[in-house]
Structure 1
Amino acid sequence: MFFFKKRNVHGLLLLDKPKGVSSNYILQKVKRIFHAKKAGYTGTLDPLATGMLPICFGETTKFSHYLTDSQKKYHVVAKLGEKTTTSDSCGALLEKRSVSFSLIQLHASINELTGLIDQIPSMYSAIKYHGKPLYKYARQGLTINRKMRKIFIYKIDLINYANNVIELYVHCSKGTYIRTLIEDLGEKLGCGAHITFLRRLQVASYIHSQLVNMIDLYKSFNRNDIYNIDIFKKLDQFLMPIDSPVSFLPKIFFSIQQTLCFQLGQKVCFICDIKNSLVRVIDTETRKFLGLGKINSENFVIPHRLVSTMQG
C-alpha cells in the first residue's frame, strides 16, 4: 500500500467502530486503508463504545459539523450499585452501594432525566481545555472545572432490568455524554452506576443497517494486487456522496453558465419557490455537487460553502 501516493478521497464512511480502540486510532487505520490525504471523524466514541462513527473524507469534511450537531441514538447497558472513576467498566471501582428502589422510583428517575436537562461533561471526555482533552488531565489525577450545559433527552426506553443490570435505549441531542447520564441516573436511584456496554445506533438520519465494519474494508483491499491502482475502486464503493451530511437540504440545478458564476463565488439569479434557505447546488450537466448556496428573498443564490473544483 505504501507504493502509492496518498489519494484525494471524497465522501462519507459510516464506520462500525470496534470495541477497545480509540476513535482516532481507528481513523488512522481507515486513512491508511483508503490511502486518503484528508479524513476526520465526527462525534468521538470512547474505547469501550462501538457503533456508528461517521468518517468524512476530503471535501466532505466541510460539511461534517452538520453531523456533529445532529441527534444521536444509543444502546446502553449499565451496572447498578457500583461507581467507577471513569463512569464505565474501564475505570477503577470507587464505591459499592446497595441497590434498593422500586420500579416506580426507577421510571420516575428516568422521567427526571428526559427533556431539557443540565449536564456537566465528564472529565473523561474529549472536550479540550487549553488545547488538551479533559481525559488527559483526568489520567493525571487532575480535575478541571467544567461548565454545565443544556442538553435534550428526547426519549429513554427501559429495555430490561434484572440482577442490578439495566438496559436502555437513549435518543438524545448533540453534546450528550451517556456516561454522565448513567452516572446521574445512578445517583438519583441512590446506588451509583457505571456503563458496561455502549453502542451508537444512529447519527442524524443514518441508521444501523448502513454501517460498514473493518472486516468489510480489509476484504475489499487485496494486498496481492498492490500494484493495481484499481484496487481502490471496491473500497470507494463504501463511501456515500460528498453532500450526504446535508442530504436533508433541497436540491437546485444550475446551467453551465450559472455553475461557472457560482464557482467563482458570484451570486446567481435563480427563480424558484424556495426562499431564505440553504440549498444543495447541483450542476445539471455533470450532476456534481457544487456546494451550498442560500436563496434570498430577491431570487438570488449566494454561495455559502463551495466544493473545490480540484477534487481529483
Structure 2
Amino acid sequence: MAQQQVKRKRRAVSGVIILDKPLGFSSNAALQKVRWLLNAEKGGHTGSLDPLATGVLPLCFGEATKFSRYLLDADKCYETVMQLGVTTTTADAEGEVLERKPVSVTQADIESVLPAFRGAIKQVPPMYSALKKDGQPLYKLARNGETVEREARDVTISKLELLAVNGDKVKLSVACSKGTYIRSLVEDIGAQLGCGAHVAELRRTQAGPFDISQAISLEKLIALQEQQDSEALDQFLLPSDCGLTHWPIVELTEHSSYYWLHGQPVRGNQAPRFGMVRVYNHQAQFIGIGEMNDDGLVAPKRLIQSK
C-alpha cells in the first residue's frame, strides 16, 4: 500500500512581497510558487501581468490580502519594446502573425505621433484580455475565433517617452492609469505610423508606491528557501499597509481601539474630515482601515485579525 503523503501545515504569515515576475509565468502561477516557498496559508496578487511581461508584481499574504483591492487602482509604469511592421492576433509576441508591412519610419516620425497618446485618451481593450462578455473572458472567445464589440474606455497616459530606436524595434517608457493596456497602446501607435506594431517585450517598473528596486527575483527566493527554510523569506515581507502609505493615519486610544475593532465608529486623533484612513492603536500597531463619516468619526472598513 502506497504511503500517504503528509500535508504540511501552512504558516499564518502576513505582509507583501514585491516580486520581479519572471518571463513566461502567469501572475497566478507566480503567486502560487511564492506562496509555496513561504508556506503561507493565504495569498493573492494585485492585478495580472501577462506571461510575456516581467517586473513589479506585489503579492499579498495573510492579513495583507484584505487590502490588495486598493493596489489594483494604483497607477503603473512600464518599459516596452515595440516591434514595428508586424501585427499579431494578441498584439504581443505570443500571438499569430496577422500582417507584415515594410518599415520606413524615422525617429522623428515616432516622436510626432506620441503626443496624440498622452493625457486622457480612449482605448479599446484587446480581445485577448480577461475582461468578460456575458460571463465569458474575452480571451476564451478570441481563442474560439470570435470577436465581439468592446466599448472604448477612458484611460490616462501621464508619461509616454521614446527611449531608443533600434531598426524596427522601438523602446518606450509609459506611465498610466489602472486599466490601461500597453498592447492596445502599442497597436494604436503602430496603426498611426502606418506599419503596424506589437509588444515584443514588456517590463513593469512601478505599481503604485512600489518600484523595481524593491522587487525580489523568484530565483533568489527559491535559492534562499532551499539553503535555509520558508522562514528565511520573511525578511522580504513588507508591512500589510505598505501599499496605503498615501492615506492619512488615525491613531486611537486603547479604549477607542476596543470599540472600533468591535465595529463601532469612533473619534480618532488628528483625523481628516473625509476619505479613507489607516488606523493604528495606542501601541502604534496597524489595526485596519476606516472611512470618515459625516459625524467626523472613523467607521471601520477592514480589520486586522488580532493574533
TM-score range, shorter chain: over 0.9
* 1:241 alignment counterpart: 239
- The separation in 1 between residues aligned to 2:32 and 2:182, in whole angstroms, is 25
What is the distance in 1 between the residues matched to 2:82 and 2:23? Answer: 16
Q: With the length of structure 2 as denominator, give the TM-score of the two structures.
A: 0.92
AA matched with 2:84: L
Secondary structure, in 3 states, of the residue corresponding to 1:107? helix
Aligned residue for 1:43? 47
- Give the conservation status (yes or no) of the 8 Å contact 1:272–1:299: no
Instruction: Report how many aligned residue pairs link the two structures.
Output: 303
Q: Secondary structure at the match of 2:287?
A: strand
Q: Does 1:67 align with 2:43?
A: no
Q: Secondary structure at the match of 1:64?
A: helix
The one-letter amino acid paired with 2:298 is V
SS in 2 for 1:40: strand
Map Cα deviations across residues 232-253 of structure 1 (whole Å, 9 max, x no partner).
Answer: 3321111111111211112222
User: 8 Å contact 1:271–1:299 — kept in the other structure?
Assistant: no
Letter matched to residue 244 of structure 2? V
Map of 2:18 onto structure 1: 14
User: CA–CA distance in 1 between the matches of 2:156 and 2:203?
Assistant: 19
SS at match of 1:112: helix
**1:20·1:48 contact (CA, 8 Å) conserved in 2?**
yes
State whether structure 2 residue 279 is matched by structure 1 residue 275: no
Tell me the CA shift for residue 172 of structure 1: 0.6
The equivalent position to 1:253 in structure 2, one of 251, 254, 261, is 251
Counterpart code for 1:281: V
Q: Distance in 2 between matches of 1:27 and 1:42?
A: 10
Distance change (3 Å), C-alpha of 1:219 and 1:2: farther
Distance between the aligned counterparts of 2:26 and 2:292, measured in 1?
A: 41
Q: Does 1:175 align with 2:172?
A: no
Q: Which amino acid aligns with 2:248?
A: P
1:102 Cα deviation (Å)? 4.3
**What is the CA deviation profile of residues 253-292 of structure 1, one whole-angstrom value per residue up to 9, with x for unaligned ones?**
222211111100111123536222322111222x321111
Q: Distance in 2 between matches of 1:270 and 1:79?
A: 54
TM-score (norm 1): 0.91
Q: 1:299: how far off?
A: 3.9
Shift of 1:297: 5.8
Distance in structure 2 (CA, Å) of the matches to 1:278 and 1:261? 19
Alignment pair present for 1:307 and 2:304: yes
1:84 maps to 2:81 = no
What does the per-residue CA deviation read over 1:103-156, in whole Å, with 9 as the maximum and x for residues that have no partner?
Answer: 443222111111111111111112233444322222222223222101000111
Cα distance in 1, alignment partners of residues 256 and 77 from structure 2: 40
Mark the CA change 1:184 to 1:206 in structure 2 (over 3 Å): closer, same or farther: same
User: What's the counterpart of residue 59 of structure 2?
Assistant: 55
Does the aligned pair in 2 maintain the 1:82–1:193 contact within 8 Å? Answer: yes
1:144 aligns with 2:169: no
Range moving further from structure 2, 58-67 or 131-140: 131-140
Partners of 2:251 and 2:268 within 8 A in 1? no
1:228 maps to: none
- The reply on whether 1:94 has 2:98 as its aligned counterpart is yes
Q: CA deviation at 1:296?
A: 4.2
Distance apart, 1:93 and its partner CA: 1.3
Alignment RMSD, CA only?
Answer: 1.9
Distance in 2 separating the partners of 1:12 and 1:161: 36
Between the aligned partners of 2:288 and 2:144, the Cα distance in structure 1 is 44
Q: Secondary structure of the residue that 1:170 maps to in structure 2? A: strand
CA distance in 2, matches of 1:144, 1:288: 49
State the Cα deviation string for residues 159-200 of structure 1 (Å, max 9, x = none): 111311111000111000001100000000000001111100
Percent sequence identity over aligned pairs: 42
Q: Closer, same or farther in 2 for the Cα pair 1:131/1:8, shift >3 Å?
A: farther
Unaligned residue ranges in structure 1 (runs of 5+): 226-230
